[in-house]
Structure 1
Amino acid sequence: MSASVRECLQLQLLEMEMLLSMFPNKEDMVINGVNLLSIVRRYLEGRYESLPPSIDFYVFVKIEDLKEKAELHVSLPHTYPTMEPQLFVRSTALDKLQHNDLNKCLAAYITSLDRGELCITNAIQWLTDNISSYVEKSKHINGNGAALKTCSTTFHRMWIYSHHIYRQELRKKILDCAKRLNLTGFCLTGKPGVICVEGEKDHCEEFWRDIRYPNWKHISCKHTESIDVTDAMDSLRLFQFFEELIFEAHGDYGLRNDYHMDLGQFFDYLRKHQSEHIFQILFGIEGKF
């Protein structure tokens, strides 16, 4: 891989260390992917052959005069900071119009900055300084602070099983598609592979159409769960964000034939997210790890 990409990844690690010092509490900053930063370090040290997954994380920013926080989702391309980061803000305090306006203005602000300079702290400061004005507009439009309601919709969760998930471009497509559709869940890479997505039913079904065509043969949707809702559906989510899971217990991920996911670790992960019942549905055996 070119030296420029390695230099960019080194800068990304420096910025991540700075952000972790700014947000030491786990509830304020969440990195997607198990041991992601250590994998990037191993790659830079020459101990990890494949290009590591993109650094992807959430920062939770306090909204003035409100108890809740806004979620700033950050995805760093391998060539950031020479390339713009992917940023997206969401908050239950904002209606759809203000969500769109806020994200457009944040994108415009990032575009105005010099490329080659680290800018995530700038984005966080901009969001901290500006989000309250968008919240106030939402309150005014929706009746002076009345609780925001969403239209009646269907909350949906899909459990997808694949023989394996290895290819970097496929993993990126899964992550990008889930984030674009505001879906939470996970993608377990390796052999076998498992994907869970949850959110609006139409979005889940669009995700399923997008990732499985045109030629992904060894994949099936094993189980679905649905419930009609009239309020915000975030309380129904089992997962806070969409993340890539990489369990390293069995072999080197860079060697496909030598890598098998750790079922015990996966069962523990499901149990932490109140989903251990799905283990038998996916694998046909009861989890007793």
Structure 2
Amino acid sequence: MHVFLPHSYPTKEPQLFVRSDTMDKQEHNVLNKSLSSYINSLDRGDLCIMNAIQWLKDNLSSYIQTAKHSTELESNLEKPGTFYRMWIYSHHIYRQELRKKILDCAKRLDLTGFCLTGKPGVICVEGDKEHCEEFWRDIRYPNWKHISCKHSESVEATGLLDNLRLFSSFEELTFAAHGDYGLRNDYHMDLGQFFEYLKQHQSEHIFQILFGIEVKS
């Protein structure tokens, strides 16, 4: 903190300026305007340098944390890498613990896409290639036999990976179903609704890859 005391201090407020290597120009301006407002709120004639130091102790961390978070986020988004999208097919996805594992894993790895539950089961994940591959390793387990990656798409990204995403988040899909609702839960998802969902996300071509059925709009 740089301190400039006028000759008439403390009847005239001091000029204070705070500088930090973790903050950019705009963030410096916000912090110093807040500090100036605080000094102007104090009674003239009182010594206020110690008050200013205490104010910084109480408030500076929030400004630094905000700046650090913004810097880390920008660095992660702009880091060149490979954008990847995986289309995973399963005979069915019913079990609650498995569905939770899929959702938690996608969220942890910053992946977007969806999980279509029921029969058949379809999972799409997109994002950083290493994260997609880690997701694929994590959700598989020895006794999940009827699961395969039907298709993958890869793009070398030099800018923001987010610009290549087709989905804004990762969500679980459940469409109207038909079939036996008994103990086996052997019911089929409405693939017509699923096709419309893919169409809304510029992915209708995947329908034929997943099911071997060509659908014309």
Alignment length, in residue pairs? 156
Alpha-carbon contact 2:113-2:126 (below 8 Å) kept: yes
Q: Does 1:230 align with 2:158?
A: yes
In 2: Cα distance, 1:131 partner to 1:245 partner: 38
Give the CA deviation at 1:215.
Answer: 1.9
- CA distance 1:148–1:223, shift in 2 (3 Å): closer
Deviation of the 1:256 alpha carbon: 4.0
Q: Distance in 2 between matches of 1:161 and 1:131?
A: 45
1:187 aligned counterpart, secondary structure: strand
In 1, the alpha carbon distance for the partners of 2:115 and 2:148 equals 14
- Equivalent-residue separation in structure 1 for 2:83 and 2:94 (angstroms): 29
Structure 1 residues 121-175: Cα deviation after superposition (integer angstroms, max 9, x where no partner)? xxxxxxxxx9876454466x69xxx998622210000000000000111111111
Contact persistence 2:84–2:126 (CA under 8 A): yes
Q: Which residue of 2 aligns with 1:287?
A: 215
Higher relative contact order (CA 8 A, sep 6+): 2
Distance change >3 Å, CA 138–CA 258, structure 1 → 2: closer
CA distance in 2, matches of 1:284, 1:131: 55
Q: Residue 262 of structure 1 aligns with which residue?
A: 190
Match of 2:139 in 1: 211
Contact 1:149–1:230 (Cα < 8 Å) also in 2:
no
Gaps of 5+ in 1: 1-129
Alpha-carbon distance in structure 2 between the residues aligned to 1:177 and 1:283: 26
User: In 2, Cα distance between the equivalents of 1:132 and 1:157?
Assistant: 37
Superposed CA deviations along residues 55-109 of structure 1, whole A, max 9, x for unmatched, are: xxxxxxxxxxxxxxxxxxxxxxxxxxxxxxxxxxxxxxxxxxxxxxxxxxxxxxx
Of 229, 244, 249, the match for 2:172: 244
State TM-score, norm by structure 1: 0.49
Which residue is 1:94 aligned to?
A: none
Unaligned runs of 5+ in 2: 1-60
Instruction: Please report the RMSD computed on the Cα atoms of aligned residues, expressed in angstroms.
Output: 2.6
Q: Distance in 1 between matches of 2:166 and 2:82?
A: 16
Q: Structure 1 residues 224 and 137, CA, compared in 2 at 3 Å: closer, same or farther?
A: same
Give 1:250 shift: 2.1
Structure 1 vs Structure 2: percent identity of aligned residues?
74
Counterpart selection for 1:194 from 114, 122, 127: 122
Query: What SS does the corresponding residue of 2:78 show, helix, strand or coil?
Result: coil
SS in 1 for 2:151: strand
Tell me whether 1:155 sits opposite 2:83 in the alignment. yes
